[in-house]
Structure 1
Amino acid sequence: MGPTQMAGRPLAGLGGDAPSCDPQAAPIVGGSARLQRQGQMLVYQCPEGQFPYPRPVRECRSNGRWSPLNPPGGRPLAKAECRGCPGPLEFDNGHFHPRQPRYNISQTLTFECFEGYTLRGPHNRTCLPNGKWSGGMAICDDGEGQCPDPGIPIGATKDGQHYRVEDRVRYRCGRGLVMFGSKERTCQESGAWSGTEPECRGDEMGGGGRGARGLEGGPQSGAGRQLHPPRAGPHD
């Protein structure tokens, strides 16, 4: 009898006192699950290069239900899923490769700038086992703004292309991602941006939670916006 079949009934040798949870009630999208500890623990497994989100293990509780899936900053999920790292939606004044909607663990993104722009931040970023990218934002800047180019987090889009005092930029995360940090930032007289650098993290597909709600649509091809934005002209 396989482990999945064993989990749906009281366990022999435990006097029927141990809770019984149905593994069929706790699937993982894109992966598989196996029982451990005599059916009291469910362990998720994903294909190479992906990880179980939001957690790899669930425990059978006394009420006969599996422990909930609570992602950081989000509401409980109905199902676990196998994930990698999100891809860039936009990248100003340069290009990146390879272009994919999602990336597997250990894959590397390489950023390069157009002529006349200087790269701030890492040339390469690597997809980590927790679904985040190594290093900080890669930004191509020509140094003409009163504030430096604030960049675009991976998985986000940005509105606002002028970086003078009191100019603002606004960010939105792609579908299935939740924003942490400031979704709107203002160029200050000090030459620094208000707020904190935003970051888009995984959450329930199309769901909310703490932070800004993700953008429901938007490109998922990984091909970023590659423009030479003007620095002069009316405010956004």
Structure 2
Amino acid sequence: MSLCKEQALDVDCGKLPPMPYGSAELLNGTTHLGSVIQYSCTANFRLVGPVRRTCTEDHQWSDSSPRCEEVRCPEPVVAENSIVSVTGNDRMHGRTLIRTSVSSKSGSTYRIGALVKYRCERGYKVIGESLSTCEDNGQWSGVTPKCQYVDCGNPGELQNGKVTLATNATYYGAAALYECDVNWKLDGVSRRLCQDDGTWSSEAPVCRELTCPEPSIQIKDSVGLIVVTSTLSIGGEAHYRCERGYSLRGNQTRPCLAKGQWGGGPPVCIPIDCKSPKPIENGRVIIANSSTLFGSSIEYHCLPQFQRVGPFLRKCMDDGAWSGAEPSCELASNEAADSGTLPLSVGVGCGIVLFLLMLLGVVYMRLRKATPVKNTENIEGAERKEDQNAAVMSYSTLHDTNGRHIYDHVTDNVYDSPYSEHLADNAAYGRRSDTDSAYEPEPVGPNAVVTINGVAVR
């Protein structure tokens, strides 16, 4: 063995104590002169000092002993008007550390993996990344964000309305008030706030024209009601009318009020009723179809020997009254003249009848005292003689004062022509009943002769 080797073996620097959070490796496996030791640290630790040391002749390792130091991030930078919260640090598990720009720095460090969240004071918003992580190089990731003053800007115009800034500003917390013009209604919120994210709260409202709804007809009794509207805007009007045969009861016109409602209540249509007509003297009033509503008709009929003065037919009009004037039944002119001499005629007739009865009594008494006939031939002759003297009345022998047969001027179609209103206006006779189609015969004229048992009474 050479001298140099012997001297090297005589020099031994010895083994080093273990290094916390790290390790030391002998590169040539010995601690003799010239041996080299190399240091390294575990994860999340870094070596502070020399990486290698050599055994020297003075039996010492070169340089000083290194150490392993934990890698930690420094206190995060807190921008003006910002707030920083740190989570995941080993010294405050489950807790959040909050720092502001005015807080005193604590000099704390943070382990790798700790999380920093940036946010701004009210009225400001974050510009940049709001999250940062402590990396294994002991630095926070990304760039420190800034806090910028929040300005929501002009909230915009409101058509058919106006927008008022309560504080004449658009920064955070400012309020915008919305209001519509007259006859317009706000659809949406009336107040919006500038939020911390730089936007106005809620959606912008709009102004819609205030109108009245379509006037509906839903009332059960409003059959025949018609409504017409020119506009549904405020100040417009709804005009009501009824179909023919109905009368309007209620408001004919309803205005559209400022609240978007129709003024007053809706009208109704009532069927027009002319009511039952008054009865007439010496006659009858017949209501056709038993109805007095619009369009119905009534007929006037006079008793025999009375003549109608006025219309035969009247109709129910749309004004609720019967058409024309009310007729009357007056005694016929010939009947009126005869009524003055009736007592005298009756007296004369009674006297004639009494005279004839007395005359017949005398004849009868004389015949009873006559000599009886003794043979049958005289009896038969007497019977034939009596038959020849007897008074005989036959309808075929009746004549009027002009010498004409009373049935010579009777037409066959006297009942064939229907009773029309035109003919009835001048008629002096009436129908006997509602169901009887025959009419009473016209009373006899002033020159006609009436006979009773062959004796003329007038």
TM-score (normalised: structure 1): 0.37
Bigger relative contact order, structure 1 or 2 (CA pairs below 8 A, ≥6 apart): 1
If each structure's helix is expressed as a fraction of its own residues, which one has the higher value?
A: 2
TM-score (normalised: structure 2): 0.22
